[in-house]
Structure 1
Amino acid sequence: MEAEVQQGQQSPEGQLEKRPPSPPWAGIPLQRGLGHRVRQHVNPLQAQYQQPAPPPHWERVYRRLGQPFHLDIGTGSGRFLLRIAQEQPDWNFLGVEIRQALVERANAWRDELGLDNVHFLFANINVSLRHLFAPGDLSRVTILFPDPWFKKRHHKRRIVQPQLVADLALLLRPGSPVFLQSDIQEVAEEMAARFLEHPQFWDPHQGPLDSNPLGIPTEREWQCLQLDLPIYRYWLERR
Structure 2
Amino acid sequence: MARVRVREHVNPLAEKYQTSIAPPQWDNLYGKVQQPLHLDIGCARGRFVLKMAQALPQWNFLGLEIREPLVEEANQIRDQLGLTNLHYLFCNANNSLQPLLASLPTGVLQRVTIQFPDPWFKKRHQKRRVVQPELVEQLALALPEGAEVFLQSDVEEVALQMRSLFDESPVFQPTTAGWLETNPLPIPTEREIATLARNFPVYRALFHKLNPTGQKDPHSEAQGGEGQTQING
Query: TM-score when scaled to structure 2?
Result: 0.86
% identical aligned pairs: 55
Q: How far apart are residue 136 of structure 1 and its match?
A: 4.0
Aligned to 1:19: none
Counting only pairs closer than 5 Å after superposition, residues 1-239 of structure 1 correspond to structure 2 as: 31-34=1-4, 37-134=5-102, 136-239=107-210
Q: Which amino acid in structure 2 is aligned with residue 217 of structure 1?
A: P
* Aligned-partner residue type, residue 120 of structure 1: Y
- CA-based RMSD of the aligned residues comes to 1.1
Deviation at 1:117, TM superposition (A): 0.2
The residue type paired with residue 68 of structure 1 is P
Give 1:55 shift. Answer: 1.4
What is the deviation of 1:32? 4.2
Deviation at 1:33, TM superposition (A): 2.5
Residue by residue, what CA displacement relative to the aligned partner does 1:56-110 show, whole Å, maximum 9, x if unpaired? 2211110001101111000000000000000110111100000000000000010
Q: Which runs of 5+ in 1 are unaligned?
A: 1-30
The runs of at least 4 consecutive aligned structure 1 residues that moved more than 6 Å come to none
Q: Deviations over 1:157-213 (max 9, x none)?
A: 000000000000011111111000000011111101001111111112222101110
Quote how far apart the aligned CAs of 1:153 are. 0.6
- C-alpha distance in 2, partners of 1:32/1:177? 35
Distance, in Å, in 2 between the alignment partners of 1:136 and 1:153 is 37
Letter of the 2:177 partner, please give it: Q
Q: Which residue of 2 aligns with 1:25?
A: none
- C-alpha deviation, 1:232, in angstroms: 0.4
Distance 2:107 2:125 in 1: 32
- Number of residue-to-residue matches in the alignment: 207
**More RCO (CA 8 Å, sep 6+):** 1
Aligned partners of 1:151, 1:186: CA distance in 2, in Å? 12
The answer on whether the counterparts of 1:52 and 1:123 sit within 8 Å (CA) in structure 2 is: yes
Contact 1:80 1:217 in 2 (8 A): yes
- Measure how far apart 1:51 and its partner are: 1.0
The 3-state SS of whatever aligns with 1:194 is helix
